[in-house]
Amino acid sequence: QITLKESGPTLVKPTQTLTLTCTFSGFSLSTSGVGVGWIRQPPGKALEWLALIYWDDDKRYSPSLKSRLTITKDTSKNQVVLTMTNMDPVDTATYYCAHRMTGGSGSYPGAFDIWGQGTMVTVSS
Amino acid sequence: SYELTQPPSVSVSPGQTARITCSADALPKQYAYWYQQKPGQAPVLVIYKDSERPSGIPERFSGSSSGTTVTLTISGVQAEDEADYYCQSADSSGTYKVFGGGTKLTVL
């Protein structure tokens, strides 16, 4: 059974750097085709894709946020870390991590098929 | 930036058919995925690769594709289907993922 859980601060100040950790179980990020993505959702608004990291350390970022984001993985700890620099109140959102298999792999290829519960981050001074 | 366009809201009576559309230029080249999100909950995958239904998703959920538009159809809508629905796909290169703006399905 695949599970993911996000963790990190609930409150950050403007200009600070946010560091979020996704801890997962039920799969390995060293297995071919496996990826973990980050998606966020401001209160009352739509989902927004942020970043993806794959088993081979290939990394993809949202073009609009690329300069502020870094995604890394620690295969031994079953964790993926997302950092976002220069936080602003508009970055207030629930941040989700999700499991994804590449287009030719897994039960539901290409989909964010399993999501974490999300963690709410508020940016305020 | 690349965008997927959804209607903000759709309303249907119980037992009727709801259709939610999602439009974008690259949809003929890239698969679409649909997620259901209920208040306070994480999204749940209901359709993948345009028209495939994951295990455990009721048969009343179906997906289709025609040109630059994909459609999520819910036949025989039930009160429990009231939720926000999001389509997701990628740009023409497949590199950058994107979500639509979401559609609120109201069951009257």
pLDDT for position A107: 83
Q: Chain B: nearest CA to A115, how far in angstroms?
A: 7
- Which chain A residues are closer than 8 Å to B51 by Cβ? none
Section A87-93 average pLDDT: 98
Nearest-angstrom CA–CA distance, A113 and B86: 13
CB contact under 8 Å between A112 and B98, yes or no, is no
- Which chain B residues are closer than 8 Å to A47 by Cβ? 35, 37, 43, 86, 88, 99, 102
Is residue A30 predicted with pLDDT exceeding 80? Answer: yes
pLDDT band at A64 (very low <50, low <70, confident <90, very high): very high
Nearest-angstrom CA–CA distance, B101 and A48: 9
Q: Chain B: nearest CA to A45, how far in angstroms?
A: 8
pLDDT 10s digits, B38-81: 999 999 999 999 999 999 999 999 999 999 999 999 999 999 99
Is residue A106 predicted with pLDDT exceeding 80? Answer: no
Nearest-angstrom CA–CA distance, A63 and B1: 8
Is residue B17 predicted with pLDDT exceeding 90? Answer: yes
pLDDT for position B1: 82
pLDDT band at A102 (very low <50, low <70, confident <90, very high): confident
pLDDT for position A37: 98
* B44 class by beta-carbon count within 10 Å (0-12 exposed, 13-18 middle, 19+ buried): middle
Chain B contact for A102 (CB, 8 A cutoff): no
CB contact under 8 Å between B31 and A49, yes or no, is no
pLDDT band at A84 (very low <50, low <70, confident <90, very high): very high
